[in-house]
Structure 1
């Protein structure tokens, strides 16, 4: 049975982690299928938005530590290279040019949290839990957690969350900015958002994603320069031309 499903509804794609009995814990087989699904979406010229979710009660309970990490007594450099290969299986989500939204209805812990953070927007269910729990088990954060969390909630809040290593509930996740919405049916709401985004002009949405990333990592001058070029290019869009024509 597949551990990851990729489905299509018009121009919206949905990736579902489906190892519910193990709370969608990340094994090599699951990660291999996830990476393949992400690569399929990246190559799909008709895809305009992506939803990522998990089957069963959890979004993703994190890494299967024994099966995924292997021999812990290897040299540090070997372990580092191994971990980079693990990270690469899901961080392709960040490289997608289409808008992405995670529907997190239950636990998103450790590397499972990273998968949610790799999406542009997170919709949380009332029982969602976001767990940067690395310090509780004596493990440094990995998989981009420190960087992605800092981008969302700032350095001080990230430090507090990683020091504590506790699960953050839906209300606090919304307050901090980890999640952007709380919805009773996370998949339905995430799909609604993705469907709306999928109607926008594709290059415009790709440029907005790039602009947001530049704004969080570059200086004001570089961000402004990209905005000016992207906005100038977008003035050729038929939708904008039609809107502008109303003012004549």
Structure 2
């Protein structure tokens, strides 16, 4: 199906791997198109309950592959906007789809690659890996979402430090500031274990909890949405199965089929 990524589903988990290890998984326009398609495919698959996003080899994603990018001088503003929209849409999808996502940051996550990781619901990072919003180092702004995401994850002051300098966030610092769940030698195994934990919970409750989390939402808006979402969950068969199994040694019977 794909040239630049691998897409695999197993026991309800979709694993999307950017597969350009010779370039530390730097992306081309084709890679971006395939990522968008794979995320959409996973979210639309009723047998997928969580997504793991990672990179092949020693890198997570080091942003755009400058050797394969178009000549910006020959592009119109509209053409450039179309390309950038596609990159932003990877972030947009990961943020807005109901299906939860976990990033396994096995190596450098740079530029838009950093933003892909930040857009996931949770992150695990390898001891030698790092995050870098390095746009200012090459005379650019964080146009893929980092200037919006990072302040919400680590606070405005720390975000300004890294966005305005392009400094690396190493694994230790990422853990200290709560940017990652944990530092792990095998990030894919750790991310998959978390995805399995999510998978084994009532699906609707997980998805609507994700949709309810928004740092900028007013309490009144939160409360109104919570009534609607709670009502949906109260009438969900998986809620009843979970309640029936609560306090027993039995696992809830959700009557599922996994992709």
Question: Structure 2 length as normaliser, TM-score?
Answer: 0.87
Compare 175-184 and 48-57 and name the one that shifted more.
175-184
Alignment of 1:241 onto 2:240: no
Whole-Å separation in 2 of the counterparts to 1:119 and 1:163 = 23
1:217 matched to which residue of 2? 216
Compare 227-236 and 204-213 and name the one that shifted more.
227-236
Whole-Å separation in 2 of the counterparts to 1:135 and 1:161 = 10
Whole-Å separation in 1 of the counterparts to 2:33 and 2:229 = 35
1:231 matched to which residue of 2? 230
2:176 matched to which residue of 1? 175
Alignment of 1:34 onto 2:54: no
SS in 1 for 2:33: helix
Provide the aligned C-alpha RMSD in A: 2.1
SS in 2 for 1:26: coil
Question: Structure 1 length as normaliser, TM-score?
Answer: 0.90
Q: Deviations over 1:35-56 (max 9, x none)?
A: 2211211221111011001011
Compare 236-245 and 143-152 and name the one that shifted more.
236-245
Compare 234-243 and 116-125 and name the one that shifted more.
234-243
Alignment of 1:107 onto 2:108: yes
Paired positions, count: 244
Unaligned ranges ≥5, structure 1 = none
Is the 2:33–2:86 contact (alpha carbons within 8 Å) kept by the matching residues of 1?
no
1:70 matched to which residue of 2? 71
Structure 1 segments of 4+ aligned residues over 4 angstroms from their partners: 73-78, 243-246
2:130 matched to which residue of 1? 129
Is the 2:90–2:116 contact (alpha carbons within 8 Å) kept by the matching residues of 1?
no
1:140 matched to which residue of 2? 141
Unaligned ranges ≥5, structure 2 = 249-259
Q: Give matches, 1:143-162, under 5 Å.
A: 143-162=144-163
Whole-Å separation in 2 of the counterparts to 1:185 and 1:78 = 40
Whole-Å separation in 2 of the counterparts to 1:240 and 1:230 = 17
Task: Quickly say closer, same or farther: Cα 1:31–1:74, change in 2 above 3 A.
Answer: closer
SS in 2 for 1:67: coil
